[in-house]
């Protein structure tokens, strides 16, 4: 059985995944930012970050501050997607 990860740890991990997506090197040869493997790598990291936090707001033990932090992370994921890939 999988080990449960506390919400605070999930938030930290999601931020690390967003940073990994931003740090992913753009391929210099070929299509650059349009390279499918690059786009897939960025999308996968951002999807993992979103999956880490998406259910935190639905838990009864989540505080209002934590729910706001999740909303901020989800907005940051959308912003990172736009900045990295466009």
**Residue 15 domain-assigned (yes or no):** yes
**Residue 1 domain-assigned (yes or no):** no
Task: List per-residue pLDDT tens for the chain, 86 residues long.
Answer: 778 889 999 999 999 999 999 999 988 887 888 889 999 999 999 999 999 999 999 999 889 999 999 999 999 999 999 999 88
- pLDDT of 34 reads 87
- Structural domain including 70 reads 7-23+32-85
- pLDDT of 23 reads 96
**Residue 55 domain-assigned (yes or no):** yes
**Residue 44 domain-assigned (yes or no):** yes
Angle at 5 between CA 65 and CA 18, to 5 degrees: 70
The model's pTM is 0.91
Cα dihedral 8→85→39→50 (10° resolution): 20
Number of structural domains in the chain:
1
Question: Are the C-beta atoms of residues 53 and 14 closer than 8 Å to each other?
Answer: yes
């Amino acid at each position: 059985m999988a080990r449960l990860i506390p919400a605070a740890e999930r938030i930290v991990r999601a931020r690390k995944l967003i940073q990994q997506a931003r740090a992913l090197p753009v391929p210099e040869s070929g299509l650059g930012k349009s390279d499918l493997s690059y786009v897939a790598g960025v999308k996968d990291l951002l999807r993992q970050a979103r999956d880490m936090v998406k259910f935190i707001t639905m838990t009864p033990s989540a505080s209002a501050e934590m729910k706001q932090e999740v909303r901020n992370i989800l907005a940051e994921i959308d912003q990172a997607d736009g900045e990295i890939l466009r």
